[in-house]
Structure 1
């Protein structure tokens, strides 16, 4: 057996040699080398419309031959074939194929990141740091002057998902160097926070940095080691873009699985942090109360939108233009206001972390791409923002290019709304001087040539693709004019006036962050819907893996509800139904008796398939990282004064859930105040949720229906009050009359309260 040795990605305009070699034995061995009277014939083929076409005039002979590819064929696949011509046993010439090799030339001027370094410039030993110090990252590049490099700082052991949070960008200077500075304390994992802030001075942590440009990534080889505890210094709060938060050392832990969430970039200070002068009421109440569609988004989202518009169009017009931008985003996302909203979908109820590049394929196949995000970013938009390179004759329409585009859109979908708003700003910046009105904001997204034009300006003439896609708005049957396109904008704007927010929760109020935890991490659940997680400086022995839950009634009287254990499990993606249990599993185990799940089958890649009693077989793929789960009480029966918190399990052994979701459930039960709540389960200890495929990881609570609409509506309202965002129900009888719910298949026998908003949980450390 022979092979062709040589580069599969040769540089254009350079001579590259290819040699025929035995797969195992060296050609120098006379037993396995070239035999007498053998002739090696090399033929080159070019891929043209999925077929191989021979390149004429390019026949070569010998064991080793050169090929030189031009810049014009960069990205086009070629096939090299070598035939051996020799005498057979009958002394007749025969020609036998010996080996093939597919090569795809690359440009000689390839843009590369050559080397990445991470160091502490404040110390003689640049590879060590204290917890409250800054690190400098540098990328040495080739052919990237003026381009933007993205840097990700991450701690050793971080999951792949966690590595790519809170990036910073820098432009490559004339010397080919891009440089950024990171505050260490902004990038540690929650586990590291717990180690440092519970006084474990022996902990040693290593930090790395990854530099990225157009899907090419390079990571530094020598880490910076952090070896001692340092209480971070609190700097004066800066006014400026949200991305400057990395320069403010304010320490907070959102939840164990996530240090900062994109929706809440305002961390909570720990212990005796510097006091801030706070108004008696939430500042949003005065500054953002008139923002249309404000009731559909978070406080941080509202502030970010107004801030962007102030920076683009001035302080005096910020609210006017922000209302225009909100109206646009409502139209483009069908009112979801989600970063992962995809073209062709009227909702965004899926989990962005479960998306893949194939999620952006249209029905036409893999050579397609759906728009995504708050303003539905398209390929043209991303190219105009220099986020995606323009095509060349060699790359246009190729599968690798579509894959790269969809990979970029996947990163947009998974970056969260707050970070994506920075991309929205970047889209508008080049045209900000041309955009004079809120209507122009809409036109710049939908039909840029209409910006600044009169109402009767013809945007799309008949018989154009754009006209066919929007012909429903042509009221006069004479082509689509600017005023006709704007009808949807005005409709969104008017509807948005009815959807201003009345719930102000920016966290700036006159309530002090008093620590109310002694020796155990405690969730404080308040009757008004607020939840706080209090973390003491020292945790008592035996309580390291436990949480306490306390409910505060309307008179702020405390009710200690329970103490539960918590564990960490591999995170699970949503499940899928399969026809049988695949072969290849490495171990099995049984689920507790009394539910529908029977046997788990575990595979080498971490996936789990489950066999049950009557719902067939389900597969729960292993997700990225770990999830924290509490072991729920088998039942609660708390009755004290005006507070009743009851539940019992019905035909389910799914008794694990997310700690924040459990706090939300307790709050909802207290709000409902009934003693007959039947819980049909959350998830199992391994984070699967058979027979449900929609709520692994314990983020959702299932409960049996009451027999009357009025009582069930009260339960729905209670879950809504405690920030369960999506309530799913069946379509039987009066179920469709439940206000604030959505129909979802498989919910005829139970109500599903899902997507608990962990952003409302405020963390306070001693």
Structure 2
């Protein structure tokens, strides 16, 4: 590693700045005892990352650089626009939790312990609704019931339009139930530990009310010709994979939406999102947002704008979009039909391509 030093003011612009260093190739990066993502616009000629070797365009640079700091839980996102101006989009906190597989219906018999988990939930629901009493439990029901290690209630968020009602936590995974019969129960099996960031910069801030539900601010960066704005609507799935969020930030910065672009928005000029995943990596009612590697967005007001967004996301590695079939939705660039997606666009999931990210220091 090489330290760059000298005056911050020089004829070529601010080349040397506090917390800026160079790697052995002489390329600048931030070193601030934090985790740092350096996100580059496609027309930025100063992107120091290596070229792709698995795309048709071998001259194309990887658009995201990542500096990992295992001693810090702070993640800083920096966007470099087409003129290489730096934009410090936000700083967020990350944490480690047990990851989840994509969700499945609870009606099956695999994994082998799922039937006993399902019976345990039935007992818990019966007790909660006074259908049965503790004295009524058979030895088998009592054995199943004791498999429940914890519960997570979402009742406090029902007035926000949140679909999840309660999660039952077991040794090997989580079963989540919703309100009514709109969505079947989901089981999310535990996997390896993962990192998530809370993708909301600051406390709950209501931006506007849409159809009696509040739109909460997620990230709001506005400076010159770069705007990164999205809000959370009818969701508490506010936790993202850190790499995935870097791709989202780059996509929105490239689009630079200035006017009202989202369906149903009144005055809000950003993207309206129905979320990533929950704090535990689950994602009810979705089955494919596990571990915060996907997010939903309200459709934009025109196909032209939707195509702009989907192509921007693909540039940063979010190369799967699931959509509905009404109106112009089937014509959205690179999209595929996905059931129950007439009201929003799904982006990401297992198709998030992390080959678009390069470690700044090995």
TM-score (norm 1): 0.32
Residue 581 (structure 1) shift: 4.8
Report the counterpart of residue 708 of structure 1 in structure 2. 302
Residue 706 (structure 1) shift: 1.4
Report the counterpart of residue 177 of structure 2 in structure 1. 611
Q: Which has the higher helix share?
A: 1
Match of 2:40 among 516, 523, 526: 526
Match of 1:676 among 255, 270, 273: 270
CA distance in 1, matches of 2:331, 2:25: 39
CA distance in 2, matches of 1:511, 1:730: 47
CA distance in 2, matches of 1:640, 1:621: 40
Match of 1:650 among 208, 233, 239: 233
Residues 396-425 of structure 1: CA deviation (Å, up to 9, x unaligned): xxxxxxxxxxxxxxxxxxxxxxxxxxxxxx
CA distance in 1, matches of 2:220, 2:332: 27
Match of 1:733 among 327, 335, 346: 327
Match of 1:590 among 153, 160, 168: 153
CA distance in 2, matches of 1:618, 1:523: 36
Q: Are the aligned partners of 2:177 and 2:186 in contact in 1 as well (CA < 8 Å)? A: no
Q: Are the aligned partners of 2:228 and 2:270 in contact in 1 as well (CA < 8 Å)? A: no
Residue 535 (structure 1) shift: 4.0
CA distance in 1, matches of 2:347, 2:183: 24
Residue 746 (structure 1) shift: 1.9
Cα distance change of structure 1 residues 617 and 582 upon mapping to structure 2, 3 Å threshold: farther
> After superposition, where does 1:458-497 map in structure 2 within 5 Å?
none
CA distance in 1, matches of 2:295, 2:188: 21
CA distance in 1, matches of 2:41, 2:175: 40
Cα distance change of structure 1 residues 620 and 642 upon mapping to structure 2, 3 Å threshold: same
Considering only CA atoms, is the larger Rg found in Structure 1 or Structure 2?
1
- Paired residues in the alignment total 253
CA distance in 2, matches of 1:662, 1:512: 27
> After superposition, where does 1:436-447 map in structure 2 within 5 Å?
none
Q: Are the aligned partners of 2:188 and 2:282 in contact in 1 as well (CA < 8 Å)? A: no
Residues 467-506 of structure 1: CA deviation (Å, up to 9, x unaligned): xxxxxxxxxxxxxxxxxxxxxxxxxxxxxxxxxxxxxxxx
Cα distance change of structure 1 residues 714 and 720 upon mapping to structure 2, 3 Å threshold: same
Tell me which stretches of 4 or more aligned residues in structure 1 moved more than 6 Å. none
Q: Which has the higher strand share?
A: 2
Residue 618 (structure 1) shift: 2.6
Q: Which moved more, 1:572-581 or 1:745-754?
A: 572-581
TM-score (norm 2): 0.65
Residue 586 (structure 1) shift: 2.9
Where structure 2 has 5 or more consecutive residues not aligned to the other structure, the ranges are: 3-23, 43-61, 108-116, 121-143, 201-216, 258-268
Report the counterpart of residue 563 of structure 1 in structure 2. 91
Q: Are the aligned partners of 2:322 and 2:341 in contact in 1 as well (CA < 8 Å)? A: yes
1:549 aligns with 2:77: yes
> After superposition, where does 1:414-425 map in structure 2 within 5 Å?
none
Residues 340-376 of structure 1: CA deviation (Å, up to 9, x unaligned): xxxxxxxxxxxxxxxxxxxxxxxxxxxxxxxxxxxxx
SS of 1:666's equivalent? helix
Q: Are the aligned partners of 1:597 and 1:612 in contact in 2 as well (CA < 8 Å)? A: yes
Match of 1:763 among 349, 359, 362: 359
CA distance in 2, matches of 1:589, 1:621: 14
CA distance in 1, matches of 2:272, 2:357: 26
Report the counterpart of residue 282 of structure 2 in structure 1. 688
- Larger RCO (CA under 8 A, 6+ residues apart): 2
Where structure 1 has 5 or more consecutive residues not aligned to the other structure, the ranges are: 1-270, 273-509
> After superposition, where does 1:123-142 map in structure 2 within 5 Å?
none
Residue 703 (structure 1) shift: 0.4
